[in-house]
Each structure stands twice: as structure tokens, then as C-alpha cells.
Chains A and B, each alone.
Chain A
Amino acid sequence: MLQISPVEIKRQRKLVIIWSITFMVVFPLLIILGLLMRLNQGEDINLGADTFYTLMTLHGLGMAGLLFTFSFAGLWYLVGTRQAKLNISVGYFVYTLVLIGVIGLAIATLIGKFGPGWYMLYPLPFIGVNWPAWSTGLAIVSLIIMGVAWLSGIIHLVSAMSKEFGGFSNLMGWQYLRKRKEGERDLPPIVMITTISLVPGLCAFLIGAAMLFMYLMQLLEPALHFNPLLMKNMVMFFGHTLVNITLYCCVGWVYALLPEYTGREWKTDKVLVYSWNATFIFILFAYFHHLYMDFAQPSAFQYIGQIVSYSSAIPATAITMFGVISQIYHSKIKWGVIPVCFLIGVAGWAIGGFSAVVDSTIAVNSVLHNTLWVPAHFHTYMLGGVVLFILGLIFYLSHTKEEQEKDKTAKFGFWLFVISIHCFIGMFYSGGLNSIPRRYADYKGIPIVSVHHTGALLAEIAALFIILLLIGLFIMYFAIIIKLSKQKNASLIKSV
């Protein structure tokens, strides 16, 4: 059985706290960018289209990168303190490279005014742009640096787990599909989910690297002209997989941490293995639903996109939700802020996932694709799902089991945050249903008066809820910082 020394646990804890503090600083800054964008759409401020798209790019790239990185850091901590020995230097290496990448992206967007949107759809970064070529180059190189960081982390994590559990097939849980040997070690669900999330990530990041190399070549040789459909397939394979596995990485924590509050074990079994192994395939092919609008894409891929998107909703989602319900039903759980974060996070995943499935229906997508429905669904499972899982983990680091049950400040901040999130997202959904287009800097140019007014009004109301959710977030931060500083003082006294 694996023995992880207290010193090693302390080191891993320090690293995850550094990650948490970084998250706590960067996350509200990126929210403020979102607030500015909504205020601009609400016609309360006038950023101008150039600045709006710069902010939109940084907000999108920043959030996708930050949430994936923290979801990975959380897995790293939970695996490194319970399941496998991880090299802390690799952890710091990943942190440093990600930080360099983030600084590069911030310079490229805020100073260089790089603004083609978060997925930099080809040929947007190169044709008729109003930003200098160096900012495009810096953004591409920064993304490559972050990609190398993520790849290093993924390879190390999966490799260390594989060493601990006797090979890759055991990580996938295939030993549960045959007759198990006497005394064979149980596979914790977090280990299987980590593998199933991160291996498709590895495949996608390498394709992302090829795409970024092509972008670099395009930058160096403007006469080049790549096939935009091929580029979009590559971008979406990379981007969709990144966002998808962010969610699954966080779900891994729920499997590991929720049993601590319900007092019930959450074991791997055949059903779990079948469902998550199916998810492994679905992660790789679901991205086709991003290309429904591309008439040149072969029809077969469009159908595959719809079928796989529908199928992906069943195994991992349904099994996890059923698992969560059976964990908490009659468990006498005390509803402190941590289990509530996980439960409401799973609800956010379910609601966002449902609206994603609705949007992945070809007939519906042809109506909703270019409306605010799309930001509505991904904000639901990212903000209402992933962010709540992350906050749950940060509370887990700062609060003891008893403290999190009693901390009224944290609970107040949490509920203010959650209610504001759903009201804010509600404005996006209403926008989608009212045909308000997405990716518009403002709605002044829309000739249909009702659409213009509704869009601006919904954006103004959304901005109000963003302010409220920021207040809720800072209240939670206050509760976290107080507990973390108390822990630090206690450890200082202990060492003296």
C-alpha cells in the first residue's frame, strides 16, 4: 500500500494553495472584463468595438485556461496526497510555465489589442486585423507554452498513477470487466476519471500544437492559405476537449470528496467502468456539434456530432448524478458549504449539460447557434458547475469539517453567489430565446428595434447580477482568507 509522508503532503498542500491564491486573484479580474462587456452591450459605457473584442478574447481564453489549469491542479493535489507519488518539481514547472503563458496572453491582448475571440478562428487573426503582428505571435507562443505545461503535467500524473496501479489498463478499470484476483487493489473512481479525462486531453493538445504551429507559419508567410474547415476542426477538437475535460476533472473531485461528508464509500464497479470508458470515446468525437453551420463539413460528421453529443449525456452524467443522489439520500449529511458547493455544482453541470444537448440538436442549433443561448449554456456549466467545484475544493483546503458547517459568512456569500449566477445566466438564456445575437460588441446596429432594446436591457440587468456575484465571491474569499491565515498562524506557533 502506498505511503505518502506528511512532509510530501505538506509540500503538495503548499502548491495547491499557491494555485488557489492565483485563482482567487485572476478569476475576479476576468469577471470584471465580462462585466465591462455586458455594460458596453447595455450601452452604459462605450468601449468601442476594438476594446470589446480584446476583452472578449482575454476573458474567453483566460477563463478556459484558468478553469482547466485549476481543475488539473485540484486533481494533482488529490491524487498526489492519496493515490500516487508525484514529483513536486513537475508541479512547480507546470505552474511557472502557465504563469508565463498567462502573462504573455495578457500583454498580447491588453497592450497588443489582440482580439479575434477565444478560439481564434482561422483566418480571423490574420485578415484585416487592427492589431500588430507581434501580438498575434505572442498570443500563439503563449498558448504553445501553456500547452507544453499542461502536457508535462498530464503525462506525469497519468504515468505516476499507472506505476502505482499496475498499468494503463488498470487505470481504465478494465480489471473490473473480468474476474478479479484475490486481494487485487480497488481502483478509486478519481483515478479512473482522471485518466479518462486527461488522455483525450493529451490527444487534443498535440493537435492543438500542430494548429498553433500552422498559425505561426501563417504569421511568418502571409501568402499561405490553409483550409478554414480543416483549421476549424482542429481548433474545435482542441478547444471543445479542453473545456469538456475541465468539467470531468472537477467531477473526479466530487467522487473523492463527497463520501467524506456522507460517510458512504463511492466505489468503482462495472457500471462505472462501462459508463466512463464510453465517455472516453464520446469526449473525442462530440466536438463535431460545433460545425453544424459549416455546410462543407461532410454530412456524416454532422450526424456523428448529434449522436455522440446525445450519447455523452447518458453515461458519465446520469451515472454520476445517480451516484450523488445515492450518496446523499438518507445519509444524515450536514449541509456545510463544501457539500453544498458540490451538490449545486452537479446541478449546474446537469442544467448546462441539458441546454448543451438541446443546442447540439441540429434542428435547434440552426436557430440558436448564433444567439446568446450558446454563452448561456457554457456559462451554466462553467460558472454554475466548474467554479462551484473549485470553490468547494478551496473551502476544503481552508476549512475543517466542523468549520465549514458553522461558517455563516461563507454560506451567505455562497448563496448570494449562486443566486446571482443563475439570474445572470438567465439573462443569457432570455437573450437566446429573444434572438439576441452573440459576439456583438453592442446592439446599436440591429435594425429591429425590439431586438436592440431587449438585448441592451438584458445586458444591463446581467451587469447588475455580475456585481452581486462579485460581492458574493468576495464574501467567500473573506471567509477563506480568515481560515487560511488562522491555519498559518497556528502552524507558526507550532513550529516555535
Chain B
Amino acid sequence: MNEWFSETMLRHQLLQLPAMLALGIFAGFWFSKYFHISFTVGITLLIFIMFSFIFWMLPHSIDLAVINTSFNRAMHVNMLLAGLFMIPILQSTLFEVKIIFLGMLSSMLIATGITLTVYDLLLCSSYNIAQQKETGSRFIIAGIILYAGTIFTFIRGSGKQ
């Protein structure tokens, strides 16, 4: 399964990472019943999650995750943890923080996507240029969907907090 995910950049970035994150999120629903995360700890963990996303988008990290088994496992654990914390944090934190987190994540995805589509040099030696550009275009789509989702969440959720 891991090999299949690592075969193309698109699967690695847009299937494997979100899949691990989603597993963490499902576990987080259960986890959130038992743990209350304070505001300051929540902000710290959100910064951790944000940095995790950034770290696993870096070309060198992607390369290492493909060729080095322990690094690959570290990636799985990291994304699982990021997902695990995400729900309890988003449930307990301020509405403003939630929207800014989602909004900034969408901006980052769009920016990274555009960068990958326009960059003509191979960033990850484990993949090829065509895969890099394809991943970029999917990132843009994911970013735009998240951007729309953020605005929708803001409009729908404002006043309910």
C-alpha cells in the first residue's frame, strides 16, 4: 500500500498525506471527548500542525520520505498526530482562530500549487516534472475548494459561536 502511494507525487501529496491526516481526524473525534485543550496549548498545537504541513511539502522532505523508511514512518506519525489534534483544537478554540487557520491553509495550498505548476526544475528527484506540475494543479484546486469552504464556514458559523 505504502509503495503504491509513493509511486507518484500526486498520490503521495494528495492521497497519502490527507489519508493519514483523515485517520488522525477520525481518531480525534473520539479523543476530543476525553481531553480539553486550553486556548494557549491549542494555538501552540495549531502552529505545530501548520509547520507539519509546510515541512511535508518541502521537496527534500518528500524525497526522503520516499527513499528512507524511517523518515516515511515519521511522516505517517506526524500527520496522524496533526489530524488527531486538529478536531479537539478546532472544537475548543476561538472562531477567529479557526477561520484564520483554514484561510491561511487555503492560501498556502494555492501558493504552493501555483509554484509547483510554474517551476520548470525538478524539485523532488524521486518524481518527474509532469507529476510535479500535475500535483501543483491539484493543489490549486484543493486550495480553491478550501478557500470557498473557509468563506462558507465563516458566513454560516458567524453568530453561532
B-binding residues in A (CB < 8 A): 90, 148, 151-152, 155-156, 158-159, 161-168, 199, 202-203, 206-207, 209-211, 213-214, 217, 221, 223-227, 230
Q: Mark B111-124, 1 if CB is under 8 A from A, else 0.
A: 11011001101000
> Which segment, of B1-9, B16-24, B77-85, B148-156, faces chain A?
B148-156
B112 proximity list for chain A (CB < 8 A): 213, 217
Contact check, A163 vs B111: say whether CB atoms are below 8 A apart: no
Interface residues of B in 92-119 (CB under 8 A from A): 95-96, 99-100, 103-104, 106-108, 110-112, 114-115, 118-119
**Of the residues B96, B108, B111, contact of A156 by C-beta under 8 Å:** B96
Task: Report the minimal beta-carbon distance from A207 to chain B, rounded to whole angstroms.
Answer: 7
**A90 — nearest CB in chain B belongs to which residue?**
B96
Residue pair B159, A206 in contact (C-beta under 8 Å)? no
Q: Is the CB of B111 within 8 A of A155?
A: no
Q: Knowing that A159-B158, A166-B159 are A-B contacts, what are 7 other residue pairs whose CB atoms are under 8 Å apart, sorted by A's residue number?
A: A162-B158, A163-B158, A203-B151, A213-B107, A213-B112, A223-B119, A224-B118
Cβ-based interface call for B143 (8 A) = yes
In the assembly, what is the distance between CA of A81 and CA of B108, in Å?
36
Least CB distance from A93 to B in Å reads: 9
Q: For the complex, what is the distance from the CA of A211 to the CA of B107, rounded to whole Å?
A: 8
Question: Nearest CB to that of B110 among chain A residues?
Answer: A210
Closest B residue to A162 by CB, please name it. Answer: B159
State A226–B136 Cα separation when bound (angstroms).
13
- Nearest-neighbour CB distance to chain B for A216, whole angstroms, equals 8
Whether the pair B118, A226 counts as a contact (CB closer than 8 A) is yes
Shortest Cβ distance from A284 into chain B, in angstroms?
Answer: 11
B161 touches A (CB below 8 Å)? yes
Q: Which residues of A contact B143 (CB under 8 A)?
A: 210
Contact B114–A214 (Cβ < 8 Å)? yes
**Which chain B residue lies CB-closest to A231?**
B114
Residues of chain B within 8 A of A148, CB atoms compared: 100, 104
Known: A159-B159, A206-B106, A224-B119. A152 touches B96 (CB 8 A): yes
Q: How near does chain B come to A255, taking the closest CB pair, in angstroms?
A: 21
Determine whether the beta carbon of B107 is less than 8 Å from that of A155: no
The chain B residue with its CB closest to the CB of A165 is B159
Q: If the complex has contacts A159-B159, A166-B159, A202-B151, are A214 and B111 also in contact, measured as CB distance less than 8 A?
A: yes
Q: Could you say which residues of chain A place their CB within 8 Å of the CB of B104?
A: 148, 206, 209
How many residue pairs, one in A and one in B, have C-beta atoms under 8 Å apart? 86
Chain B interface secondary structure, helix, strand, loop or mixed? helix
Residues in B with CB closer than 8 Å to A90 are 96
A233 to chain B, nearest CB (A): 12
Whether the Cβ atoms of A155 and B118 lie closer than 8 Å is no
Q: Which residue of A lies closest to B121 (CB)?
A: A223
Contacts of B161 in A (CB 8 A): 159, 163
Q: Which residues of A contact B119 (CB under 8 A)?
A: 221, 223-224
Scoring A159, A226, A230 by chain B CB atoms within 10 A of each residue's CB, the highest score goes to A159
How far is A203 from B107 in the complex, measured between Cα atoms in Å? 11
> How far is A212 from B154 in the complex, measured between Cα atoms in Å?
22
Check A210/B96 contact, CB under 8 A, given A155-B154, A162-B158, A162-B159.
no
Inter-chain CA distance A166–B95, complex, in Å, is 17
Does A206 lie within 8 Å of B158, measured CB to CB?
Answer: no
Q: Mark B121-161, 1 if CB is under 8 A from A, else 0.
A: 10000000000000000000001000100110011111111
A155–B104 Cα gap in the complex (Å)? 14
In the complex, 13 of the A-B residue pairs with CB atoms within 8 angstroms, ordered by the A residue number, are: A151-B103, A155-B95, A155-B96, A155-B158, A167-B159, A168-B159, A206-B147, A209-B104, A210-B106, A210-B110, A214-B114, A221-B119, A230-B114
Contact A202–B107 (Cβ < 8 Å):
no
A151 CA to B158 CA, complexed, in Å: 14
Question: B154 contacts which of A164, A202, A217, A227 (Cβ < 8 Å)?
Answer: A202
> Given A151-B100, A152-B100, A225-B118, A217 and B159 touching (CB < 8 A)?
no
Asked whether, in the complex, the Cβ of A168 is within 8 Å of the Cβ of B106, the reply is no
| Inter-chain contact B95/A227, CB cutoff 8 Å | no
Contacting residues, chain A, for B108 (C-beta < 8 A): 210, 213
Q: Is the CB of B118 within 8 A of A159?
A: no
Q: What chain A residues lie within 8 Å of B160 (beta carbons)?
A: 163
A166, B158: Cα distance in complex, Å: 10
Contact A224–B150 (Cβ < 8 Å): no
**Who on chain A is nearest to B146 by CB?**
A206
Chain B, residue nearest A216 (CB): B111
A203 to B103, CA, bound (A): 9
Task: Please report the C-alpha to C-alpha distance between residue A27 and residue B106 in the assembled complex, in whole angstroms.
Answer: 34
